[in-house]
A = this chain, B = another copy of it.
């Protein structure tokens, strides 16, 4: 079914809203229902108000100028959003925070030996891209790079991950006192300079290799969607896996007069300069490096032999920044709940962009605004959400979640009292539903996904997501998945505005979007434009409408649910799989270490190595201990018993008990917060989900345990098993008390 057909079908339903809405509500009993307050008629009315062409229009308007945090255009975008919310009938206002935001003063990168080359550091305008020649674009840079003027030999470090440095160690290569060049990919960008710095590098260059992000993937812009030789990915390199938000106000809102720490004391700021460059600029640098040829997995798609160095190539990197404080404008729109005004359903998407940001973030924001517009019409026609809705457009997400983090920190106590859920989106595109979040909400999302049609195929987005996942799985997993009919809700790391809600405050969170058929190279470049978006990301904007349909249904069902559709049996089941994974990780580490030691003792590694190539003799290491996961496994068993009991006792509750239950349901996830937070990063408190300390955006589940294992810290791993066990027991006890009262 195509977009036109959907619109035609929906037009058959007249505005029966009040009547059917009421009918729908009268049927609702205080029963535990996984779909929440599903109201087919209401949702049809809602759908009827969504317009893909209006979404396209919004994207065009809000991405018409570069509008980064702190810019005049950024302020204008916030004001435009404010007036849109108001025109939709919402009570809206701007909440302003004052945050640090460095922008470039000087940028110089040059190859100084064995010949000279000065990097362009500039994306050229294209006649095929109307906004690419605009004034006021932020230059290509990594926000939160340190100021620095350094010159040194260059070392190629692959993706710049800890395992890449292990490989360098085996080759006897040190980056101490060198400048490293790493390619984008495999980790969040901020990990690369952090690990480089940990290893003694004095500067870091990050480039887009055409293998991951250029002609290797497909035709380049403007012929195709992929990165051309001059394209550069801007982006933050704040160490936001320590904490995100304004580096000067950890844990508190960056209000005008908030107490600030000094930049030198901010634990999430780098000490070395970092610069992102294009593959046009990277090629002369990489081609000049000598030393060992890079291992096969390290090679990109440039037409050169990749060498590691150090040797021959020497570069000079000189960067300085304007470390100014700027206002961040969060636009907050509210519709007060008619029955439970103190229970908040929060929906958010950021509005700031690195440049024009048609895809990131405006495509997601346009869907959010479309929902607000549609709900506004429903309200005009008599609909009253039972819980309070808060639709928010965040500022300063790009420089590391500044707007959302400051707001969440500022309103923390109130949020932990009132916030039922935080529903996030960000850039959106064509393809498959991508959903992540708190696993107690798995069933709700599954039910919603069954009710939204995929605009390209006419089947539900649930079916299409399932097909995509099966097709991508290994042959063995395919056969398993075919037998099941399960919805896979992903776990959340970081990379968008849910972090403070979920990982700092324990508020149930969701992140929704579509993608997988919208790949391209525009991300954080001047080419993330309306022209690019409308050609390559979501032509016709039908997935913008799908996002509105999906997120809107989640909002409406949660807003009106007599019993909130949280099911902790799903969380328990998911946690079981995480525990299996860490048990198996422990076993795998044991086996690997044991094998590695045998290979060393038997001289296999040495004798298999080419004597003409560098080989660092290694000594056997202590064997890996088998850790005791039984307390954790037992705690989950106990949780299983109480979640089953809770599920069985949710029918026919009176209003008081239902209210008591609801409050418990949406606050339960806070029981999983570790009071001391995670090792080395107390801001992150969730015991189940965190961004990886060495992956960044990528999630680590059971992060305390898993990362201690990965880092070979067996004592900490044991301590973390105890800590997580404690939180699971606390959740069990919390749910048991609730159950006892029903």
Complexed CA–CA distance, A603 and B467 (Å): 8
List 19 additional contacts besides A303-B303, A459-B603, A468-B607; criterion CB under 8 Å.
A215-B305, A216-B299, A217-B305, A218-B305, A301-B303, A457-B611, A459-B607, A463-B607, A467-B603, A467-B604, A467-B608, A470-B599, A471-B608, A478-B595, A479-B598, A482-B598, A482-B599, A482-B602, A517-B612
CA distance A468 to B607 in the complex (A): 7
CB neighbors of B among A293-342 (8 A): 293, 299, 301-305
Q: Which residue of B lies closest to A471 (CB)?
A: B608
* Per-position 1/0 for A213-244, Cβ under 8 A of B: 00111111000101000000000000000000
In the complex, which residues of chain B have a beta carbon less than 8 angstroms from the beta carbon of A303? 210, 215, 301-303
Bound-state Cα–Cα, A184 to B457, Å: 40
Interface presence of A472 (CB below 8 A): yes
- Chain A to chain B contacts (Cβ below 8 Å), 10 pairs: A218-B305, A224-B305, A464-B608, A467-B606, A468-B608, A470-B608, A471-B608, A472-B608, A478-B599, A482-B595
A219 touches B293 (CB 8 A): yes
Q: Check B467 against A611 for contact (C-beta < 8 Å).
A: no
A window 600-651: CB within 8 A of B: 602-608, 610-612
Closest B residue, CB atoms, query A478: B595
Q: Is A475 an interface residue (CB 8 A)?
A: yes
Q: How many Å lie between the Cα of A472 and that of B604 in the bound state?
A: 10
A517 to B602, CA, bound (A): 21
Nearest neighbor of A219 in chain B, beta-carbon distance = B305
Chain B residues, Cβ within 8 Å of A482: 595, 598-599, 602, 604
Residue of B nearest to A226 (CB): B305
* Interface pair A517/B475, CB less than 8 Å apart: no
**CB of A456 within 8 Å of the partner chain:** yes
* Chain B CB within 8 A of A592 CB: yes
Chain B residues whose C-beta falls within 8 Å of the C-beta of A305 in the assembled complex: 215-220, 224, 226
C-alpha spacing A215/B605, complex, angstroms? 27
B607 A467 Cβ-Cβ under 8 A:
yes
What residues of chain B lie closer than 8 Å to A478, measured between beta carbons? 595, 599
Q: In the assembled complex, which residues on chain B have CB atoms less than 8 Å from the CB atom of A610?
A: 431, 517
Min CB distance A413 to B, Å, is 46
Q: How far is the CB of A54 from chain B (nearest CB, A)?
A: 23
Q: Which residue of B lies closest to A607 (CB)?
A: B467
**How many angstroms from the CA of A573 to the CA of B591 in the assembled complex?**
30
Q: Which residues of B contact A598 (CB under 8 A)?
A: 479, 482
Task: Spell out A's residues near B (CB within 8 Å).
Answer: 210, 215-220, 224, 226, 293, 299, 301-305, 431, 456-457, 459, 463-464, 466-468, 470-472, 475, 478-479, 482, 517, 591-592, 595, 598-599, 602-608, 610-612
* Complex Cα–Cα for A57 and B226 (A): 54
In the complex, A301 Cα to B304 Cα: how many Å?
Answer: 9
CA distance A299 to B226 in the complex (A): 15
Query: Using Cβ atoms and an 8 Å threshold, which residues of chain B touch A466?
Result: 604
> Roughly how many angstroms separate A62 CA and B612 CA in the complex, as a whole number?
28
> Cβ of A599 and Cβ of B471 under 8 Å apart?
yes
- Most B CB contacts (10 A, CB to CB) among A210, A467, A599 go to A467
CB-contact partner of A218 in B217, B293, B517, B592, under 8 A: B293
- Contact partners of A611 in chain B: CB under 8 A: 456-457
Give min CB distance, A649 to chain B, whole Å.
38
> Which of A456, A471, A479, A608 has the largest count of B CB atoms less than 10 A from its CB?
A608
Q: Which residues in B have their C-beta under 8 angstroms from that of A456? A: 611
**Closest A-B pairs by Cβ, 7 of them:** A471-B608, A467-B607, A303-B303, A467-B608, A456-B611, A467-B604, A215-B305
Which residues of the other chain, B, contact A216 by a CB distance below 8 angstroms? 299, 305
Contact A607 B210 (CB under 8 A): no
CA distance A456 to B463 in the complex (A): 60
Task: For A595, list chain B residues within 8 Å (CB).
Answer: 475, 478-479, 482
Q: Roughly how many angstroms separate A470 CA and B609 CA in the complex, as a whole number? A: 12
Cα distance A204–B459 when bound, in Å? Answer: 43
Chain B residues within an 8 Å CB radius of A608: 464, 467-468, 470-472
Given contacts A517-B612, A604-B471, contact A304 B457 (CB under 8 A): no
| Complex contacts, A517 vs chain B, CB 8 Å | 610, 612
Q: What are the residues of chain B within 8 A of A219 when measuring CB–CB?
A: 293, 305
Query: Which residues of B have CB within 8 Å of A224?
Result: 305
Bound Cα distance from A507 to B219, whole angstroms: 55
Residues of B within 8 Å of A431, CB to CB, are 610
Tell whether, in the assembled complex, residue A605 and residue B457 are in contact, meaning their CB atoms are under 8 Å apart. no
- In the complex formed, the residue of B with least CB distance to A608 is B471
A376 CB, min distance to chain B CBs, angstroms: 33
Closest to A464 in B: B607
Residues of B within 8 Å of A215, CB to CB, are: 303-305
Q: Across the two chains, which residue of chain B brings its CB closest to A609? A: B471
* CB-CB nearest in chain B for A467: B607
Please state if B475 and A604 are interface contacts (CB–CB under 8 Å). Answer: no
Cβ of A226 to closest chain B Cβ, rounded Å: 8
A208 to chain B, nearest CB (A): 14
Complex Cα distance, B610 from A607, in Å, reads 48
Min Cβ gap A379→B in Å is 36
Q: Are B471 and A605 touching (Cβ within 8 A)?
A: yes
CB distance from A117 to the nearest CB of B (A): 18
Q: Give the residues in chain B near A591, CB-CB below 8 Å.
A: 475, 479
Q: State in angstroms the CA–CA spacing of A603 and B210 once bound together.
A: 34
Closest to A479 in B: B595
**Separation of A352 and B237 alpha carbons in the complex (Å):** 61
Rounded to whole angstroms, the CA-CA distance of A53 and B161 in the bound complex is: 47
Query: Bound state CA distance, A226 and B604, in angstroms?
Result: 28
Shortest Cβ distance from A431 into B: residue: B610
Query: A6: shortest Cβ distance to chain B, in Å?
Result: 15
Query: Given the complex, which residues of B lie within 8 Å of A459, measured CB to CB?
Result: 603, 607
Identify which of A220, A301, A431, A464 gathers the most chain B CB atoms within 10 Å of its CB. A301
> Complex: how many Å from CA A304 to CA B612?
34
Q: Which residues of B contact A217 (CB under 8 A)?
A: 305
The docked-state distance in angstroms from the alpha carbon of A287 to that of B41 is 54
A454, closest chain B residue (CB):
B607
Nearest-CB distance from A488 to chain B (Å)?
14
Contacts of A218 in B (CB 8 A): 293, 305
User: Could you tell me the distance between the alpha carbons of A466 and B605 in the complex, rounded to whole angstroms?
Assistant: 11
- The answer for the CA separation of A83 and B653 in the assembled complex, in Å, is 106
User: In the assembly, what is the distance between CA of A74 and CA of B216, in Å?
Assistant: 45
